[in-house]
Structure 1
């Protein structure tokens, strides 16, 4: 499976490139951005925990951790925005479905309707 992974990734990238280049670039950029924001989030969590577990009064520790908490919040919001963008762009790369086809019951109902309307038309022509 690992040996086939590069071939599968290449196939997906080629198909995406042929379908919608801008959407593919958007997905790639959003995924890379999510990786960066996840890294910043982990660094911020590490900093917050280091400051909270340090010795000293709790109020002082919270004040010292506040900048890292802000970075963590910004990273979380950025991750959510990038995730939404990635989802929107990947939707443009999905296969498009044509109009819904009628079920066999729907086809039968259409045939009955068409036969009744055509017989009514013929009957109205005869009465003239």
Structure 2
């Protein structure tokens, strides 16, 4: 029997290897996996930089276009104001022409300078 006993031990040892010891854990703690923190890659840096530069360029272009538009609007307003001023001056000058060319005034100036009216030489001119 000793031989059979020995054989049974060998078979048991082959079937069941040494038991694996579980790490001791404290009650109430959770096992967490360690995560490996990786920095951002060079490709990500280049992509973010590229889009950042594009965004900055668009902002600069937007501001410069807004300034150009504002300057152009101001110039247009100045030209409209000058045009309105010239129209007012022209209207005043036309009114002065009408006042100075009234028949009574012309006749009075002619009499003061010793001119006499000759009905045969009068011609009516209309505008």
Same fold (TM over 0.5): no
What is the TM-score with the length of structure 1 in the denominator? 0.29
Which structure's residues are more often helix, by fraction? 1
Question: RCO higher in 1 or 2 (8 Å CA, sep ≥ 6)?
Answer: 1
